[in-house]
Amino acid sequence: MKSNLSYVHPNVTSPWGTYLSQVDRVLPYLGHLARWSETLKRPKRALIVDVPIEMDDGRIAHFEGYRVQHNLSRGPGKGGVRFHPDVTLEEVMALSAWMTVKCAAVNLPYGGAKGGIRVDPKLLSQKELEKVTRRYTSEIGVIIGPQQDIPAPDVNTNAQVMAWMMDTYSMNTGTTSTGVVTGKPIHLGGSLGRVKATGRGVFVTGREAARRLGMDLQGARVAVQGFGNVGSIAAELLAEAGARIVAVQDHTGTIYNPQGLDLAQLIPHARQNGVAGFRGGERIGDEDFWDLKTDILIPAALEGQITAARAQRIQARLVLEGANGPTVPEADDILASRGVLVVPDVICNAGGVTVSYFEWVQDFSSFFWDEDEINQRLDRIMVNALNQIWDTSDKHRITLRTATFAVACERILTAREERGLYP
């Protein structure tokens, strides 16, 4: 039956339109499971909440918040919470769906979920930020929980925000529920290695992809868009492996140095002021970033950044998708036809949720692992998952993105089929 919901026919370059197009591309590889494909195209549950708070000046402000549970076939929902002025329901739907695919790609016992609040946290005081976080947590409290749906950090959220979420949920339920969120501070049940885990996963998949391409990381030129948690850590680890970070871009501008930027100075500078104004490189136009001669490009900001036009200009041989949904479908085709290898978000940035899973397991057992053990387990899971995806890509002659969807969707839909339909 034709649906009258507007999100069913979105623009193909929007996040949800991009995701639906990615699903369409994998259907020929799903065999009999393809009859369950609508499951992938419909979020299981979407909650819109009003988040009212009293601002420091006495005004009452209302913010719109969301929590979408895309699929719960393989386990509880899992996925971050984003605070950003452009967050929409449709965007959160796409982000939650990519979580479903990502968790299955690395074989974690989770479904996919995501949340967000349409708010610019840069305009809030710390007290206002805490109020927004706590009210949002109470409002979505009806659908989250250690066995239901476990939020984590995403854009503009961090360990402090997770601590407030954990505390609010714990107060509301009369329990100490460390397992309700991951990415918490260490002494509140957080895991060693979680802060760097997403960037580390980008590095691990990048290292493996470079090895298969015969690309030496020593001296490889890297450009990074988005220099927050994911971008800066991926850059740091690649630089430790000998790569040269020649360009970084954030909201404040783009900095370029063909000899390599000094990250020990750039990272603290960027945390305070953004990358613009950094003296160890030349300021270039934001659009010029896409023409730079590089070996590796890491989009680590928001969705839809690699458009068809930019895909024609990208010089890198390898794109590591730190961000979720950075490449629109037409750009994917252009990059493939130009021989640019894309390691897709749904495997490339899965390091974060993998260590979130370790955190959740540690919280349940109240037994905590050391950082070496965490990093080794993370490396092993990422490499094994990537190898399987690579084999699938070779077998069917499909992109790594479609291969990741093939591996993941087979797991998701098998679980769906095995659970059956009737209450």
d(CA 317, CA 248): 17
Least Å from the CB of residue 395 to ligand NDP: 27
Nearest to 93 by CA among 151, 48, 43, 25: 43
Least gap, CB of 152 to ligand AKG (angstroms): 3
Using an 8 Å Cβ cutoff, are 333 and 325 in contact? no
The helix-helix angle for 371-396 and 400-419 (nearest 10°) equals 100
In the bound state with ligand NDP, the residue whose beta carbon lies nearer, of 19 and 29, is 19
Question: Is position 80 an interface residue for ligand AKG (rule: CB under 6 A)?
Answer: yes
From the list ligand AKG, ligand NDP, none, partner contacted by residue 79 (C-beta under 5 to 8 A by kind):
ligand AKG
Question: Measured from the CB of residue 386, what is the shortest distance to ligand NDP in angstroms?
Answer: 16
Strands 60-71 and 112-118: antiparallel
182 binds, among ligand AKG, ligand NDP, none (CB under 5 to 8 A by kind): ligand AKG
Cβ proximity to ligand NDP, 74 vs 200, nearer residue: 200
Closest CA to 406 of 389, 381, 419, 384: 389
Write the single-letter amino acid at 113. Answer: A
> Taking CB under 6 A as the rule, does residue 254 contact ligand AKG?
no
* Site membership for ligand NDP, residue 349 (CB under 6 A): yes
Which listed residue (22, 100, 137, 349) binds ligand AKG by CB under 6 A? Answer: 349
With CB atoms as reference, the residue minimizing the distance to ligand AKG is: 80
Q: What is the smallest separation between the CB atom of 357 and ligand NDP, expressed in angstroms?
A: 12
Among 104, 105, 238, 302, binds ligand NDP (CB under 6 A): 302
Could you tell me if 254 and 284 are in contact, meaning their C-beta atoms sit under 8 angstroms apart? yes
- 50 dihedral zone (left: phi>0; alpha: psi -120 to 50; beta): beta
Residue with Cβ nearer ligand AKG (63 or 110): 110
User: How many Å apart are CA 69 and CA 78, to the nearest integer?
Assistant: 8
Distance CA(321)–CA(334), nearest Å, equals: 16
* Residue among 101 and 255 whose Cβ is closer to ligand AKG: 101
Instruction: Tell me the C-alpha distance between 301 and 222, whole Å.
Output: 15
Q: Of the ranges 165-173, 237-245, 257-265, 348-356, which one interacts with ligand AKG (CB under 6 A)?
A: 348-356
Q: Does 133 engage in binding with ligand NDP (CB under 6 A)?
A: no
Q: Which does 78 bind (CB under 5 to 8 A by kind): ligand NDP, ligand AKG, none?
A: ligand AKG
- Cβ-based neighbours of 23, under 8 Å, separated by 6 or more: 37, 40, 41, 405, 409
Start-end of H helices in 296-399: 308-313, 329-337, 345-348, 351-365, 371-396
- CA distances in angstroms from 28 to 3, 90, 127, 408, listed in the order given: 24, 26, 51, 14
Q: Is 79 in the site for ligand AKG (CB under 6 A)?
A: yes
Nearest distance, CB of residue 32 and ligand NDP, angstroms: 32
Distance CA(233)–CA(245), nearest Å, equals 12
Q: Which range binds ligand NDP by CB under 6 A, 8-16, 104-112, 300-308, 415-423?
A: 300-308
Sites for ligand NDP among residues 183-202 (CB under 6 A): 198
The yes-or-no answer on residue 114 being catalytic is yes
- CB count in 10 Å sphere of residue 75: 18
Nearest CA-CA partner of 264 in 239, 298, 234? 239
Q: Which does 249 bind (CB under 5 to 8 A by kind): ligand AKG, ligand NDP, none?
A: ligand NDP
- Considering the complex, what minimum distance in angstroms separates the CB of residue 142 from ligand AKG? 20
For residue 227, state whether it binds ligand NDP (rule: CB under 6 A): yes
Q: Where are the beta strands (DSSP E) in 197-236?
A: 221-225
Binding-site member from 105, 166, 353, 413 for ligand AKG (CB under 6 A): 353
- Residues in the chain, total: 423
Q: Is the dihedral of CA 26, 317, 388, 351 positive or negative?
A: negative
Residue 129, interface with ligand NDP (CB under 6 A)? Answer: no
Q: Is residue 71 close enough to count as binding ligand AKG by CB under 6 A?
A: no
274: partner contacted, choices ligand AKG, ligand NDP, none (Cβ within 5-8 A by kind): ligand NDP
Interface residues with ligand AKG (CB under 6 A) are: 78-80, 99, 102, 152, 154, 182-183, 324, 349, 352-353, 356
Q: Which residues are catalytic?
A: 114
Binding site residues, ligand NDP, CB under 6 A: 153-156, 198, 225-231, 249-252, 274, 300-302, 322-324, 349, 352
